[in-house]
Amino acid sequence: MLRGRGRTWSSSARSRWSGARRLEVDPDQGAGLRATDARQAGLTTDEQGGANRGAEREPAGHHATVSSTLGIGLAMRGEPAMRRNSPLTEPRALSHNVRFDRNRRPDTPRSRSRFPVARHGGEMRSRVSATVGAPHDTASNPIVKVLISADGEGISGITSSDELVRGRSGYGRFQHLMTADVNAAIEGAVAGGATEIIVNDSHWGMNNLLIEELDPRADLVRGFHKPLCMMHGVDDDIDTVFCVGYHAKVGHSDGVANETMIGREMIEIRLNGRPAGELDINATIAAHHGKAISLVTGDDAFVAEARDSLGDVEVAVTKYAVDRWTARCIGLERSRAGIRAAAERATRRAAERAFTPMKLELPITYEVEFTSTSEALMGALVPGATRPSPRIVSFTGDDALSAWRGLFSVILLGWSASDEVYG
C-alpha cells in the first residue's frame, strides 16, 4: 500500500495514475483536480474524491505538487512548476514538463513543516545569505550580482547637515530615509533578475543604514576601515555597480550638500587636470576592476554630472536643487518608485552587458586642494606625493588603484590637521 496526501492508495490505483497524462490545476477553480482528467485516468469515485481532497489542501496561490511516488507532475496553468532543492536554497523555475524525482523532497505542507524557514518581519524567508529569492531563469538571463554603494547627500527628502551628521537632531530620520531608498534599489534589482546584492554603506562613518529595516535579500558592509572605501566589494565577483544617494562635486553647481570626500577641508580634487567628484573617483576604481556603474540616484545637479562623466547610465532623480541646503524634494513614494524602476532597468541591461567601464587615461594624477596649508603640509608626507603650492598636494599612480591609494592617504593625513573652527 502507498500513501499520498494523507490518504491510503491501492497499488492498482497507483498504476492507473502512472499511466495518466500530465494533469493541470486551474487556478480559477482552486487547487482541485479536474474530474474529467480523473475519470480519464480510470479512477473510482472514492479515488477521485481522495485526489481532489488532497489537492484542495494545498494553500491558495501555491504551486500544486503530488508525492513523487504517484509518478506524475502537476503545474499551474501558464506558470512554471517550482521546487526546492534543499532547506537552504531558494526555488527556481523549471520546465512545465518536468517530473519530480522520487529522491527529491516534495514542496508540500508536510515537507515544509519538517524543513522550517526563518521568519523576518512576519514573512517566511529561507535562510539564505545574499541569494535573492525571486525565480530567475538563468537560461535566458545571465546571473547578475550587484554592488550598491550608498551615500547620504542625494537621499530622498534630505537637505540639511542636521540630517546628515550623526548626533544632530535630524540624523535618526535620515537613517530611515536612507534605508528606504536603498531598499527601493534592492527591490528593483531583484525585479530585474539580480541573484546577489551587496550594500556598502558609504556615507561619513559608514554605519548609517539600519540593518533591521534593510531588505534581507541583501548583505550589508558597515564600518569605515575599507581599503576601497565607497567601492568596497567592487574587486569581488560582482557584475555591476549602483551609486545610490550620491551628490554633486564641490563648488561646481548648487547641488544639495555638494562636497568631495571630506566636506569643509576640501576646495577641489582634480583628476588629470579636470575637477572630479566622488562618482568620477569611484568610477576609475570600478573600471580598474573591469566593472561599470549602471545606476545613479541623487539630485538633478548630480545626475547631470553623472551623465557627463559616464554617458550611458540609468538615473533616478530624487530632488531638484535650489541651493546647497535647499531643494524641491520629490514625494517619497514617487521618488522611491523612480529608484525602483531605474534599478530594474539597470539590472536587466547589465545582464545583457550593455554598460562599459569608464575609459581610463593612464597614468592618473590627482591634485588635492585643501582649505588649509596645515592639511596640505600633512598630506604631502605620503611617499610619492608632492606639494606644488601651499594648499595643493599632487600624487600620480601608474594605474587607477595605485592612484586611489595615494589619493586616499593624502586625504586622510591632511584631514588629521583640520581645525574644527578654521578648517
Per the domain annotation, does 139 fall within a domain? no
Per the domain annotation, does 405 fall within a domain? yes
Is 198 found in the same domain as 251?
yes
Which of 125, 154, 183 represents a domain boundary (last residue)?
125
Cell digits of residue 324: 546647497
- Give 38's DSSP letter: H
Is 171 found in the same domain as 312?
yes
Strand blocks (E) in 151-228:
194-201, 219-221
Per the domain annotation, does 135 fall within a domain? no
pLDDT of residue 421: 81
CATH classification of the domain holding 292: 3.40.50.10780
pLDDT of residue 143: 79
Is 199 found in the same domain as 160?
yes
Say which residue the cell 512545465 belongs to. 96
d(CA 25, CA 300): 50
Q: What is the pLDDT along the chain (423 residues), one digit of tens a residue?
A: 333 334 344 444 444 334 433 333 343 433 333 333 444 444 444 444 444 444 443 444 433 333 333 333 333 333 333 333 333 334 333 333 333 343 444 444 444 444 343 333 333 333 233 334 444 443 455 779 999 999 999 999 999 999 999 999 999 999 999 999 999 999 999 999 999 999 999 999 999 999 999 999 999 999 999 999 999 999 999 999 999 999 999 999 999 999 999 988 999 999 999 999 999 999 999 999 999 999 999 999 999 999 999 999 999 999 999 999 999 999 999 999 999 999 999 999 999 999 999 999 999 999 999 999 999 999 999 999 999 999 999 999 999 999 999 999 999 999 999 988 887
Is 290 found in the same domain as 173?
yes
Is 118 found in the same domain as 168?
no
Per-chain mean pLDDT for the chain: 78
Structural domain containing residue 402: 364-415
d(CA 36, CA 381): 85
d(CA 316, CA 338): 6
CATH classification of the domain holding 394: 3.30.1360.130
Is 117 found in the same domain as 26?
yes
pLDDT of residue 255: 99
Is 160 found in the same domain as 52?
no
pLDDT of residue 140: 55
Per the domain annotation, does 359 fall within a domain? no
- Provide DSSP, 95-138: -TTPPPPTTSPP-SHHHHHHS--EEETTEEE---SSB--S---T
pLDDT of residue 274: 98
Per the domain annotation, does 252 fall within a domain? yes
Is 55 found in the same domain as 198?
no
Which of 323, 351, 379 represents a domain boundary (last residue)?
351
Per the domain annotation, does 423 fall within a domain? no
- In the chain, the number of structural domains is 3
Is 283 found in the same domain as 199?
yes
d(CA 394, CA 410): 9
Per the domain annotation, does 323 fall within a domain? yes
pLDDT of residue 141: 56
Per the domain annotation, does 44 fall within a domain? yes
d(CA 309, CA 292): 12
Buried b (16+ CB within 10 A) or exposed e, 171-183: beebbebbbbbbb
Contacts of 404 (CB under 8 A, 6+ apart): 228, 281, 284, 285, 288, 397
Is 195 found in the same domain as 52?
no
Which of 327, 351, 375 represents a domain boundary (last residue)?
351
Tell me, yes or no, if the pTM score tops 0.85: no
Is 372 found in the same domain as 345?
no
Is 219 found in the same domain as 181?
yes
